Amino acid sequence: MLDRFRQHAGRKGGPLTGPNPTDRGQPGSKIHLITDRNGLPLSLGISGANIHDSLGLEPLVRGIPPIRSRRGPRRRRPAKLHGDKGYDYDHLRRWLRKRGIRHRIARKGIESSQRLGRHRWVVERTVSWLAGCRRLHRRYERKAEHFLAFVGIAAALICHRRLTK
């Protein structure tokens, strides 16, 4: 499951008002996220808010660690991937098909995002867990490496909380 989460860095003071700054081409950050069926983060990355979402898919899928299975060799890729309309491009569908990953990506202008809602709520829940971390709610770091490190720490905390219940 794949989703993105937008952040804005730089402005100090009161809450943001008006349109989302990432929609107006101003500086900001997006957190791209792949989770498993239970909402545990498998792969994550960040990008600029003015970078198209489709550019983040391939690095995220390549970043998924091998999956341990009870029998046989470790699986190197997921069996299926759900994505929103930001990833609806033929070259991404071909790339996923070539890697043997079944995809379920909403098509622009044809399908409603409602059908993916039963799968996407898991990702939305994980995004809200990430947003609960103060350092990720508003980006304070200037360097992308530092921000990515804090996102990784938050993802590790989410995994720890979910796996120790």
Tell me, yes or no, whether 46 lies in a domain.
yes
Taking the model in full, what pTM does it have? Answer: 0.71
Give domain status of residue 94, yes or no.
Answer: yes
Q: Residue 141: which residues within 8 A CB-CB, separation 6 or more?
A: 9, 135, 147, 150
**Overall residue count recorded for the chain in this entry:** 165
Q: What is the residue range of 43's domain? A: 2-14+25-65+75-163
Tally of domains within the chain = 1
pLDDT at 109 over 80: no
- Is residue 19 situated within a structural domain? no
Q: Residue type at 110?
A: I
The predicted-structure confidence for 56-107, as pLDDT tens digits, reads as follows 888 999 888 877 777 777 777 788 888 878 888 899 999 999 988 898 887 7
State in Å, rounded, how far the first CA of the chain is from the last one: 22
In a domain, 70, yes or no: no
**CATH code (residue 55):** 3.30.420
